[in-house]
Structure 1
Amino acid sequence: MSSRTITSLSNDTVKRVRALHMRKERDETGLFVAEGLKTVIEGVDTGHAPKILMHGPDAASHPMMQKAVAATLAARGEVIEVTHDILAKVSRRENPQAVVGVFPQAFVGLTDVAPGAAQCVVALHRVRDPGNLGTIVRTADAAGCGAVVLVGECCDPYSVEAVRATMGSIFAVPLAKATEEEFAAWRAGWVGSVVGTLLTATASHAEAEYRKPVLVLMGNEQQGLTPEMAALPDLNVKIPMRGRADSLNLSVATGVMIYAATSLP
């Protein structure tokens, strides 16, 4: 396929890309939207070519655009020059990025997450906030985690909000999904420590003895770990609160646990 130009807001391709803001459409198509040339290039550099690459007139001359265009065309995708109004409609932002890519989602199977492949794997139970989820994926990438496992009914890691929060790490960290039952069965074969966080725990996260590799299990924003999930770790720990706040934001708490797990000698 070659490049083309679209100027109409009512174009069918524009409508299809905009519809990817809805989870139902993402689930049915297996596609998602990534905004910004930097994020698109992160995808290209990790072997993920866009199915559709939309760009404004000003972005066409950017040196990295040639790389994105070449990868898209090599994968038989579409490269489309569009107006600022179309970019705003597609991204639902008044000040949109000049480049938007539509990519295939890339979940891995739970059995593909190898316990010995990295020092740490993160499991999230019923995480609800896409900003938290995206930030955790970004932190997992920064710390070199092997995967992020979504357990039970979680928010969509491929929502526009979650993808934005990953800052491109959505392409770098393997994502797996599992029911509570599937996760419990898989966890039984974990060869290192399985660590959860509980307010009632007595051991500090910084003083506990972990065995590599570490599987960090975190609960959701409202409830934390349910009793059933809290029974799965070998060790439950707490992150000490030294001020008036009685808890941390989920993404911050998960980041603390990730770095405790990945800083082992």
Structure 2
Amino acid sequence: MAEGLRILTEARETGRLPRILFYAAANADHPLVHALSIDVEMAGGESIQTTPDILSKLSGKDNPQAVVGVFDEFDRTLADLDRNSAGIWLVAERLRDPGNLGTILRTADAVGAGGLILIGECVDPFSVEAVRASMGALFTVPVVRSGWEEFLGWLRHGPGQLVGLSLDTTHDYRGATYAAPTFLLTGNEAQGMPTDYAAARTA
């Protein structure tokens, strides 16, 4: 589920339309709401005019946005990624906090990263909290969920430098040499990066 006219409009521009669109009656004549409603219905979805109270219950917020969209999940696999489409990729291992996931997605969007690869038991990127924290970046940055061995196998079958991010190091990131595509690997918020993951780094 995603909230807000700006986020839903950005999703629409990337080809993602909600299966169900809820919007406040007071905003029915807004040109962007009207266009979004038409596109949803033309795609076979439902467009429902409702009240602020219903929107509040849907979003769990006292001051809900004017529109709320319910989307189908759009999982990707490693095979869907073109590693040569970007010079930098982000990889997160056992990421647990939806706010952190949203921040990483927004950062990836800002720097033009190719996508975010989630390793192991990570927070659900489609949870309401994660979608809200991403501020729409979930619709613009490809997200893939993978196991560690699966990711390593995929990485080794093509170009790619795996760079580990850690406080336990003597190497300054500003002095390192990077080769595109670079995959930046970060560990769990509380426990950091496992030793076997660190051993797999190429930088």
Is this a same-fold pair by TM over 0.5?
yes
Instruction: Report deviation, 1:81.
Output: 0.8
Q: Does 2:179 correspond to 1:205?
A: no
Aligned twin of 2:22: 54
Which AA in structure 2 matches 1:128?
R
CA contact (8 A) 2:12 2:36 kept: yes
Match of 2:39 among 71, 80, 87: 71
Q: Kindly provide the CA deviation profile for residues 218-263 of structure 1, in whole angstroms up to 9, marking residues without a partner as x.
A: 111101111121112111xxxxxxxxxxxxxxxxxxxxxxxxxxxx
Q: Does 2:73 correspond to 1:99?
A: no
Q: Does 2:117 correspond to 1:141?
A: no
Match of 1:163 among 131, 144, 147: 131
Question: How high is the sequence identity, in percent, across the aligned residues?
Answer: 44
Secondary structure of 1:105 counterpart: coil
4+ aligned runs moved over 6 Å, structure 1: none
CA separation of 1:190 and 1:126: change in aligned 2, threshold 3 A: farther
Aligned partners of 1:170, 1:68: CA distance in 2, in Å?
Answer: 18
Instruction: Report deviation, 1:139.
Output: 1.1
CA contact (8 A) 1:50 1:71 kept: no
Which AA in structure 2 matches 1:68?
L
Gaps of 5+ in 2: none
TM-score by length of 1: 0.74
Instruction: Report deviation, 1:39.
Output: 0.7
Instruction: Report deviation, 1:190.
Output: 4.3
Secondary structure of 2:188 counterpart: coil
Which AA in structure 2 matches 1:75?
A
CA separation of 1:220 and 1:190: change in aligned 2, threshold 3 A: farther
Which AA in structure 2 matches 1:179?
G
Which AA in structure 1 matches 2:29?
S
* Higher RCO (CA < 8 A, seq sep 6+): 2
Higher Cα radius of gyration: 1
Instruction: Report deviation, 1:130.
Output: 0.3
CA contact (8 A) 1:105 1:158 kept: yes
Instruction: Report deviation, 1:79.
Output: 0.5
Instruction: Report deviation, 1:189.
Output: 2.6
Aligned partners of 1:178, 1:123: CA distance in 2, in Å?
Answer: 10
Aligned twin of 2:76: 108
Instruction: Report deviation, 1:198.
Output: 2.0
Aligned twin of 2:152: 184
Instruction: Report deviation, 1:96.
Output: 0.8
Aligned twin of 1:221: 189
CA contact (8 A) 2:161 2:180 kept: yes
Which AA in structure 1 matches 2:48?
I
Computed over aligned residues only, the root mean square deviation of the Cα atoms, in angstroms, reads: 1.1
Aligned twin of 2:198: 230
Q: Does 2:89 correspond to 1:121?
A: yes
Aligned partners of 1:145, 1:155: CA distance in 2, in Å?
Answer: 20
Instruction: Report deviation, 1:144.
Output: 0.9
CA contact (8 A) 2:124 2:130 kept: yes
